[in-house]
Structure 1
Amino acid sequence: MLEDNKYYGFTNDEIFGSIMQNKRFCKAIIQAALPDVKVVSVESIDAQKELGTKSDKISKSVRLDIAVKDKAGNLYDVEMQVNNNHDIGPRMRYYQSSMDRDTLDRGEPYTSLSRTYLIFLCAFDPFGKGKLRYSFHLYDDEDKSIQLKNNAENIIINSKGSGSEDVDLLNLQRLMNDDKIESKGIFKEIQNKIQEYNDDPKRRNLMRTAELRMKEETAVARKEGREEEQKNTVKSLTLTIKEMRPEINETDLFKQIKKNVGSDFSLSDSDIKAIIHQNMK
């Protein structure tokens, strides 16, 4: 059940998308995540931009939360990560590769690749080290002075971390944690705007609807994940039992698998039989 008096903060999908489409707000948040980089004025902002579908309809596509381009041609992808799925490394790798493929056309030299900044705003610490900001580059394993300059930087902001005295970064952390921002400035403006959204009945209805939709999509994804895992289990059992008993038929194999998987197995009998049949060939 969704609460009518619930506060929807910066990490809420609808709030985050609305705030980040304001160029001033967007630039301030990116600059806070990149204190050592001079962020040039934002030229364009694409919310929920889908990559990976230009020419390849088979490969997995990726939908960027906020894709930003500045006037110098640098690209920024800002992602809000609320749940820890323990896949931060592979996820960032795939997002980075998708950004690169989308910006380089056939025949262009690799030197034409734009400088990219992939920023993950995490409501959890993916490494358990307590740092507020993690920054990643490619270095030689033995000599860190040798850097592979690929013009790509991966940044993770851990809202539960500490260890920084940068005012803007600390305000970004407060924003992510729904902590009150006392000092005047653009982050206070952002927090005031979020409160306006919460006070607007129409926007609250949109946020409640989006939250319900997200919960439904998560439930479906979990169900699909369980089904895929169970299909792999049936396939593995089929191949193992067949190797041990080459003479076994599909009916007896089905009975053996049903005996092994137990009563909490949700895959239907017809699906199990179809997997067995496919792997008995």
Structure 2
Amino acid sequence: MAKSTTDYKDAIVKWKNLTLLDDRMFGMVMQDDQLCLALLQRIFPQLGIKQVKKIPLPNIADDVRDSGGPHYDVYVRDDQKRTFILESFSAEKSNYPLEARMRYYLSTMDPDMQNLCEANSEPHIHPLYIVFFCDFDYFGNNSPVYKFELRCIEDPSLLAGDENHFRFFNAQATNLSDHPELKGLFKLMHNQTQPGDALAEQIIQKMAQIKQDPERRQQFMKYEADLADAERKGKEIGLEKGIRLATKMLINLQLNDGIIIRQLMETYDISGTDAHHHLEEARK
């Protein structure tokens, strides 16, 4: 199907208006190892992270997330073999079930699982940190950061020892007295600036550089045009069949699960749970 002028103009506007919390922009910015390191040092000062490197995996998406398979905005390991998975979520995806995303991560990727399952291998578990950056308060408790780990219900001081750590950063929080280091970052997540915050200023400069890159812009334009085609074709043949066809087309475009679910939710006005169900059915 021919790409329309409207699609092109809409894509240009989207490209110019991308913010840090757009998962595509977030992923591109965090490809800069030094910025990624600085961000991790900011949110995990107690860990003493000195170096990070990207973990090479087949099907990890490129600049505009156009590959298939498991995908993460940021997937790195530090100098102490701790693994960090970072994702951004904006308010437009506030009805997306992040609990399902947590289960998705644990079911599709554990960096130590292969070694644990290999015969004659010595069991050793390295910490895994899964981090969500949100400009909305998913849990509604006005906490700047929500921390989840597997603990004993009867004795919360007793950890299971699986070394899986979940963090939800809530840029909507109003009281940062205990976390002043997050102020500049949270403002940036709302597309605002905090004077004097060197990291935020570096990220803003990086975003400007990315938007001036013609190759990245062209990749983004193609991605948006193909996405619009898939949505139109899905709408043309009725709701249920349309969702089914659109889901398969989005899979064939080699988009990651998070993007597919978001597009189904936005296009067909369905819940994240329903979108996740359609995706699972289409993959059978």
TM-score category, normalised to shorter length: 0.5 to 0.7
Mean alpha-carbon deviation: is it higher for 127-136 or for 216-225?
A: 216-225
1:185 and 2:198 are equivalent in the alignment: yes
Structure 1 unaligned regions, length at least 5 = 52-59, 231-281
Seen in structure 2, the aligned counterparts of structure 1 residues 220 and 37 have a Cα distance that, compared at 3 Å, is farther
1:73 and 2:86 are equivalent in the alignment: no
1:262-281 superposed matches below 5 A: none
What count of residue pairs does the alignment treat as equivalent? 222
Structure 2 unaligned regions, length at least 5 = 1-5, 62-67, 245-284
RMSD of the TM alignment (CA)? 3.6
Q: For residue 97 of structure 1, report the CA deviation from its aligned partner.
A: 3.4
3-state SS, counterpart of residue 100 of structure 1: coil
Q: For residue 127 of structure 1, report the CA deviation from its aligned partner.
A: 1.5
1:37 and 2:47 are equivalent in the alignment: yes
Distance in 1 of aligned mates of 2:101 and 2:129: 14
Mean alpha-carbon deviation: is it higher for 105-114 or for 130-139?
A: 105-114
1:1-281 superposed matches below 5 A: 2=10, 4=12, 6-45=16-55, 50=60, 62-82=70-90, 83-100=93-110, 103-105=113-115, 106-107=118-119, 111-165=123-177, 166-200=179-213, 203-213=216-226, 226-227=240-241
Mean alpha-carbon deviation: is it higher for 70-79 or for 33-42?
A: 33-42
Percent identity among equivalent residues? 23
Contact kept? 1:130, 1:160, Cα under 8 Å: yes
Q: Highest CA radius of gyration, 1 or 2?
A: 1
Contact kept? 2:133, 2:168, Cα under 8 Å: yes
Distance in 1 of aligned mates of 2:238 and 2:129: 32
- Pick 1 or 2: higher relative contact order, CA cutoff 8 A, min separation 6: 2
Q: For residue 202 of structure 1, report the CA deviation from its aligned partner.
A: 5.4
Mean alpha-carbon deviation: is it higher for 61-70 or for 221-230?
A: 221-230
Give 1:250's aligned residue: none
Contact kept? 2:137, 2:170, Cα under 8 Å: yes
Q: For residue 122 of structure 1, report the CA deviation from its aligned partner.
A: 2.1
3-state SS, counterpart of residue 105 of structure 2: helix
Distance in 2 of aligned mates of 1:161 and 1:110: 43
3-state SS, counterpart of residue 85 of structure 2: strand
Residue type of the partner of 1:169?
L
What's the TM-score, normalizing by structure 2?
A: 0.64
Contact kept? 2:151, 2:158, Cα under 8 Å: yes
